[in-house]
A and B are shown apart, each in its own frame.
Chain A
Amino acid sequence: MIGLIFTKEIKSFFKSPFAYVLAGLFSLIIGWIFFNLLMSYVDNLQAMPNGVQSQLKFVNAVVIKLFGNMNFLLMMICPAVTMRIFAQEKSDNTIDLYFSAPMSDFELVMGKFLATIGIGIFLLACTLIFPLIMWRVNIHDFSFLTFGYIGALLNIACYMSVGLFCSSLTKSQVIASLSSFTIIMLFWLVSWILQLSDNYFLISAIEQLTIVSHFESLVKGFVGLQDIVFYASFICFFLFMTMKSLSARRW
């Protein structure tokens, strides 16, 4: 049943021109950012003496910044992907089709969630030209890039789970996208508090709650248990809330 919902959602996404507009915009913006980062790296490299040029420099100057920007773009794109998932089904009454079928809310939510992840992978796949360009300019260490993509995918999973939850609350796609964007932004803005306080325990606690800090450590290749726990619990929490929101019809 999960596979059936997944296939239906993926087909529905790719039937719509929205998919190609979204992918085109994302590719254009992230491509432009990558181009600028690469050019500025090359300029800096040429200005440096030969001995201090290193691979690590490239990671700091291009890879980390690229994924930082990509993360910010995904924060805006994911709510646009998820806004229709439940909201449109509610406004078109097609949600009753699922509720009258012999399937659980878990199957419905998981089918839709995995479909959004599939869409996220498609968006990330649009950027796979970057490793090819890097290969051409003789940068052969893709370990940081791999960690970057894993981090971006986990972030997509987080944003999509928030988006699904918000979409399950309303019939309006606009409200769904704005509310999910707000929640995602809140998790991002929390990291700013870190700069305002010098309380070590508060900083440590808040740091564990921000997506950015976990994403940064992933991109840098430092994967800790706390990162895995954070991503898993964040996604599970919002998927659980989505299921609860759908079951509210029974109240």
Chain B
Amino acid sequence: MDAIKVDSVTRFYGEHTAVDDLSFTVNKGHIHGFLGPNGAGKTTTMKMIAGLLPAHRGQIQINSKPLEQNINELKLELGILLENPPLFQDMEVREYLDFVARLHKVPKDQIQKSVDYAIEKLRLGDVAQRLCGNLSKGFKQRVGIAQAIVHNPSIVILDEPTVGLDPQAVIEIREFIKELKEDHTLLLSSHLLHEVSLVCDEVTIINKGKLVVSGPVEEITNNFNKQAQIEVSAKSLSDEQIKKIENWFFIDKVILGNNDKEEVSFQLSLSSINDHRHECLKNLMDINVEVISYKQQKMSLEDLFIRMTKGAQ
């Protein structure tokens, strides 16, 4: 079932189109990574999903209900942390979480329980009586996540939750995010692609407000790897053989690498979406290329992101 469905959403800022006909879905109980270069429209999209900004075209559905028509009801289903945690500097952590719980209409008899849940989940017990303004950046970020979950929403939206944190804090936040998956659906934007690949089940990549790709991480990387680079080493490679290879329909281009007397290496860039790796090897044999090694270059999410966003530019 879809927790979030973004359907052909467009948002303008004056003449500028920040989000352009964007569609993707976030499945219930998953951690969904939301990637894109700076200015791609991630924060704008997240703000629209959280009901902070209306879409100029298209529709957003939360738990199968249209957001625009049920905005106040659905705001209870959403917890959001934008890039900077919205903390009142003069409030103590517990007092602040209590206030946020009341803002989100948590019943009076459950406020204490909700605040305790958020404090326990984010391990804020030691700083519960300290002023938000006196906390370190890592703790401020934790309190930011705590305020997003204090009213126990089914969907949590986190915009760059690890930005500006030290490596230890990044690891901690990653663990918290993984733990949150047990009770919430998460939409998470980050520049740290390694981070996303470690915690996310699904990913959506956007560039200049437009969708590049969306789906389960494994499926996307597998699909992409099928059409990726193959590194080949052979005893020799003549110009005639290169021309033949370039004529195969699934070959995008042949990139020649090191060439010495005993071994020649080259890269084959496969353009087709279907998997032609086996066929490619068979064809190389047929044209008498004496293959020494044949290895597919596996793409990480980072390679994928760079290639896709660059390609879209």
Contacts and interface: CB of A to CB of B under 8 A. Distances in A.
Interface string B79-95: 01010111111110000
A101 B87 contact: no
A96 B99 contact: no
A40 to B, nearest CB: 43
B217 interface: no
Interface string A67-111: 000000000000000000000000011111111111100000000
A100 B105 contact: no
B88 A12 contact: yes
B53 A101 contact: no
Contacts of A101: 75, 100, 103-104
A15 interface: yes
A140 interface: no
Contact of A100 (B78, B85, B87): B78
Interface in B240-265: none
Contacts of B80: 96, 100
Nearest to A12: B90
Nearest to B89: A92
A98 B82 contact: no
A202 interface: no
A96 B53 contact: no
Given A93-B84, A249-B52, A100 B90 contact: no
Contacts of B110: none
Contacts of B309: none
A93 B103 contact: no
Contacts of A1: 103
Contacts, number: 58
A16 B90 contact: yes
B90 A94 contact: no
Contacts of B52: 96, 99-100, 249
A136 interface: no
A103 B82 contact: no
A94 B89 CA distance: 10
A149 to B, nearest CB: 31
Given A99-B52, A102-B75, A93 B105 contact: no
A96 to B, nearest CB: 5
Interface residues of A, number: 20
A57 interface: no
B54 interface: yes
Nearest to A250: B54
A193 interface: no
A94 B53 contact: no
B225 interface: no
Interface in B272-290: none
Contacts of A8: 88, 99
B86 A93 contact: yes
Contacts of B87: 92, 94
B43 to A, nearest CB: 11
**Listed residue (A8, A99, A100) with the most chain B CB atoms within 10 angstroms of its CB:** A100
A96 B46 CA distance: 12
Contact of A94 (B54, B78, B86, B104): B86
Interface residues of B, number: 28
Identify whether the interface residues of B are mostly helix, strand, loop, or mixed.
loop
A15 B92 CA distance: 12
A4 B103 CA distance: 8
B132 to A, nearest CB: 10
Interface in A52-67: none
Contacts of B73: 102
B210 to A, nearest CB: 23
Contacts of B85: 93
Contact of A103 (B88, B91, B103): B103
Contact of B104 (A99, A102, A249, A250): A102
A108 to B, nearest CB: 10
B52 to A, nearest CB: 5
Nearest to A16: B90
Contacts of A93: 82, 84-86
Interface string B44-88: 000000111110000000000000000111011010101011111
A111 to B, nearest CB: 11
B84 A100 contact: no
B102 interface: yes
A103 B72 CA distance: 7
Contact of B99 (A4, A92, A99, A100): A4
Nearest to B72: A102
A59 to B, nearest CB: 43
24 contacts: A4-B102, A4-B103, A12-B88, A12-B90, A12-B91, A92-B84, A92-B86, A93-B84, A93-B85, A94-B86, A94-B87, A95-B86, A96-B80, A97-B86, A97-B100, A97-B147, A100-B50, A101-B75, A101-B100, A101-B104, A102-B71, A102-B73, A103-B72, A249-B52
Given A92-B87, A103-B72, 11 more contacts: A12-B90, A92-B84, A93-B84, A95-B86, A96-B80, A96-B82, A97-B86, A98-B103, A100-B51, A102-B75, A103-B103
Nearest 3 CB-CB pairings of A with B? A102-B72, A101-B103, A97-B86
